[in-house]
Amino acid sequence: MILKASKRGGARQLARHLMNGEKNEHVTIHEVSGFASDNVTNALDEIHAISKGTRCSRFMFSLSLSPPQNESVPVHVFEDALDRIEKKLGLVDQPRVIVFHEKQGRRHAHCIWSRIKTEEIKAIDQPYFKNKLQVIAKQLYLEHGWELPKGFIDPKLKNPLNYTRAEWQQAARTNQNPKVIKAALQECWTISDNKKSFSSALNECGYYLAKGDRRGFVVVDIHGEVYSLTRQTGAKKKEIENRIGKADKLPSVTQVKADISGKVSEIFKNFLNEQSKDHQKALKPLLKTKPKLPYFYRLAICCIETFCGFMKPSYMRHCIQHHVALKNYYLMSALAPE
């Protein structure tokens, strides 16, 4: 899901937005925790009041969670996402408000945390929070099998099994860059926290998990090349086992290669059918003009022979050139669209 966040002030203004029933068909207060009041407006006012003991003007961390447009996402998925975000941004046990909005049958959520630690009367810093949120957002898309937005996809890391025919032809003209491969595998490792999300991230980039003969955990690309996971990601074997389980439960390199081979064969069969249709389409104008060629060609030859009978020998060479030119003209006209 798309995660948008900001550090902000303006408690009353934000409360009005959260409780706006005119722009939203349904407004549901899901949680108000860590406050003396269970009212959204009073809770945000409480954050503002506590912030007076600091010099922090942006005392709230405001986050909106928007799932894919055509997906119906249950509440527990939102809650799981919020728990991950809290841990990543250092907001665990901070007072928070969660409100769900529903518009045209589509649900999205807002969560507001207090950035002020009451024990220390000090604001919590969240460096690079946008980058961290993007990592979590991409994890959620991959784990739930949602279609990734274009902003999340790097064209250089696209799975070749999803290429169009033009992209295949372009890829065939380029060599693989080891730095790009390593960067792709490291990114897949960074944005995932379990076997399912890691496998999904790898598949998006055209790599597949396998059990190596000697190196334990490996990945295989569509060219059949095998890469050591520990060497490419820099992670230790034990760390990999904790995240994705034992290597024995993975398919062998031979099995993965056979599976990839089957997918590639099917793709090229589709490309061949597509190319055959293109050729048939290009041939139609030629087939329409073909019956006319013998008549015009014979007529042109008769004209040249007739004129040659009355011409001087010195002009015979020019007549032959005209003959060839006419022949080429009628052949080219057959290829031209009507």
Mean pLDDT on 248-277: 81
Q: Residue 336 above 50 pLDDT?
A: no
Least confident window among 78-92, 156-170, 280-294: 156-170
* HEC per residue, the chain: CEEEEEEECCHHHHHHHHCCCCCCCEEEEEEEECCCCCCHHHHHHHHHHHHCCCCCCCCEEEEEEECCCCCCCCHHHHHHHHHHHHHHHCCCCCCEEEEEEEECCEEEEEEEEECEECCCCEECCCCCHHHHHHHHHHHHHHHHCCCCCHHHCCHHHCCHHHCCHHHHHHHHCCCCCHHHHHHHHHHHHHHCCCHHHHHHHHHHHCEEEEECCCCCEEEEECCCCEEEHHHHHCCCHHHHHHHHCCHHHCCEHHHHHHHHHHHHHHHHHHHHHHHHHHHHHHHHHHHHHHHHHHHHHHHHHHHHHHHHHHCCHHHHHHHHHHHHHHHHHHHHHHHCCC
Residue 252 and residue 289 in contact, taking contact as beta carbons nearer than 8 Å = no
- pLDDT class for 228, splitting at 50, 70, 90? confident
Decide: 12 and 78 in contact? Cβ < 8 Å. no
**Residue with more model confidence, 179 or 52:** 52
- pLDDT of 312: 46
Predicted local distance difference test score (pLDDT) of residue 67: 87
Position 112 pLDDT exceeds 90: yes
Report the amino acid identity of residue 236: K
pLDDT in tens, 54-69: 888 899 999 999 888 7
Q: Which of 245-249, 256-260, 262-266 has the weakest average pLDDT?
A: 262-266
Rounded Cα distance between 60 and 44, Å, is 8
Q: Is 276 exposed, middle or buried (0-12, 13-18, 19+ CB in 10 A)?
A: exposed
The count of other CB atoms within 10 Å of the CB of residue 223 is 11
pLDDT over 60 at 324, yes or no = no
Residue 167 pLDDT > 60? no
Of 77-86, 95-104, 270-279, the range with the lowest mean pLDDT is 270-279
Structure confidence at residue 335 as a pLDDT band (50, 70, 90): very low
Q: How confident is the model at residue 337 (pLDDT cuts 50, 70, 90)?
A: very low
pLDDT > 70: what percent of the chain? 75
Categorize the per-residue pLDDT at 311 as very low, low, confident or very high, splitting at 50, 70 and 90: very low
Mean pLDDT of the chain: 78
Report percent pLDDT > 90 for the chain. Answer: 12
Q: Closest Cα partner for 17 from 97, 136, 78, 92?
A: 97
Q: What is the side-by-side order of every strand in the sheet holding 106-114?
A: 2-8, 60-66, 106-114, 96-103, 26-33
Predicted local confidence at residue 241, as pLDDT: 87
Task: Give the phi and the psi of residue 229 in degrees, each rounded to 5.
Answer: -70, -40
pLDDT category at 297 given cuts 50, 70, 90 is low
- Mean pLDDT to the nearest integer, 278-305: 63
Q: What's the pLDDT score for residue 215?
A: 65
Over the stretch 70-96, which tens digit does the pLDDT of each residue have?
A: 788 888 999 999 999 999 999 988 999
Distance of alpha carbon 201 from alpha carbon 105, whole angstroms:
30
Per-residue pLDDT band at 202 (split at 50, 70, 90): confident
